[in-house]
Amino acid sequence: RRKIAILTSGGDAPGMNAAVRAVVRTAIFRGCDAYAVHEGYQGLVDGGDMIRKMKWDSVQGYLTAGGTVIGTARCKAFRERPGRLKAAKNLVKEGIDALVVCGGDGSLTGADLFRAEWPSLLSELVSQGELTEQEAKDHAHLNIVGLVGSIDNDMSSTDITIGAVTCLHRICESIDSISSTASSHSRAFVVEVMGRHCGWLALMAGIATGADFIFIPERPPQGEDWRESMCQEIKRHRDLGKRKTIVIVCEGAIDSNLQPVTAKDMVDLLTERLHLDTRMTILGHVQRGGTPCAFDRNLATMQGVEAVNAVLDSRPDIPSPVIAMNENKITRVDLVEAVKLTGEVAKAIGRKDFQAAMDLRDPAFNH
């Protein structure tokens, strides 16, 4: 009887619970035992009551709940080998041989490292007398399957990540609210949105709300005098009769010299050069909270089912997969490759090769 565990790790994202529910129920449906590891990798390191067997009813109400009910954490211990040794021992002692990790690229990097180290972790545990030869032999291979839970949509190799669309809806609702007051008072608003070093949320929210100007890390403003060009553009919109101005700034926005572009700087610019009554709104954590939208519930459900299918198909010679979505289909992509490509975006930005950064992102960036 296979024993499959799921954990959620890194930043919470709406839809993570739906993924946990789908993994638990599909595992049970397929005749396996399902486990939830609480508090991300911390639960793996601590073991004991943090690794709990799940029944069909254990995930009742999960489909529509925001955040992650089984908890998430940033776990320092798992970054070090002694922490991963404890995690390996806890999994073997529970008899778990497959782990589904739902998290961002950091969490999936950790998962891949854990899988790669698995044989050496087991032999070290045997030499320490923590495991018997037989236990190590029975658990010689650890199956890892990744699910990408991230509001930022910052993972390469997949068109969309669990939580990003819900977050986009939240941002759009907020900007719609701001727009009413902006139009009424003929004001300008600079709105900072999440996304870390990925501009997807800012870009998509900008298109969906008809923003006047958008700042994303992958495509910094062009030209030395971009501030003047931006002001002229906004003035042109005003001259056409627009009574509101909305500028969206991704939290990781930069200029072409890799210097941060902040919402505060843009407020000062619009106030000083265009004499607009300009306010700043940093949306913050309202963006990531609340009930997942239908798309994220369904994405997480379909991907959770596929994660269990992938566990049941796994063989030691098949590389660990991440469950992705490509051109509207649920797919499996190579976890190592996806993590590597995601890292390439940051590297491309670091060497100011912004076109390469755009090419590595979701295809939507290049439309």
Residues within the interface to ligand ADP (CB under 6 A):
9-11, 41, 74-75, 78-79, 103-107, 109-110, 113, 150
Cα separation, 116 vs 56, in Å, equals 32
CB of 357 to ligand ADP, least distance (A): 18
CB of 4 to ligand ADP, least distance (A): 20
Cα separation, 43 vs 53, in Å, equals 13
Contacts of 103 (CB under 8 A, 6+ apart): 7, 8, 9, 10, 40, 72, 111, 146, 147, 148, 149, 150
CA dihedral 178, 179, 185, 187 (to 10 degrees): 90
Contacts of 29 (CB under 8 A, 6+ apart): none
Cα separation, 302 vs 320, in Å, equals 18
Pick the closer one to ligand ADP by CB: 157 or 179.
Answer: 157
Pick the closer one to ligand ADP by CB: 111 or 269.
Answer: 111
Which residue carries 């992705």 as its tokens? 324
Q: Do residues 209 and 297 make contact, with C-beta atoms less than 8 angstroms apart?
A: no
Pick the closer one to ligand ADP by CB: 103 or 221.
Answer: 103
Pick the closer one to ligand ADP by CB: 104 or 199.
Answer: 104
CB of 44 to ligand ADP, least distance (A): 9
Active site amino acids: 152
Cα separation, 9 vs 45, in Å, equals 13
CB of 114 to ligand ADP, least distance (A): 7
Which single residue brings its beta carbon nearest to ligand ADP? 106
**Could you tell me whether strands 278-282 and 3-8 are parallel, antiparallel, or unpaired per DSSP bridges?**
unpaired
288-305 burial string, b = 16+ CB within 10 Å, else e?
beeebbebbbebbbbbbb
CB of 74 to ligand ADP, least distance (A): 4
Pick the closer one to ligand ADP by CB: 103 or 206.
Answer: 103
Q: Report H helices in the chain.
A: 16-29, 40-46, 81-94, 105-127, 133-138, 164-185, 200-209, 226-239, 263-274, 294-313, 335-350, 354-360
Beta-carbon count within 10 A of 25 CB: 22
CB of 120 to ligand ADP, least distance (A): 15
Pick the closer one to ligand ADP by CB: 220 or 292.
Answer: 292
Q: Do residues 348 and 357 make contact, with C-beta atoms less than 8 angstroms apart?
A: yes
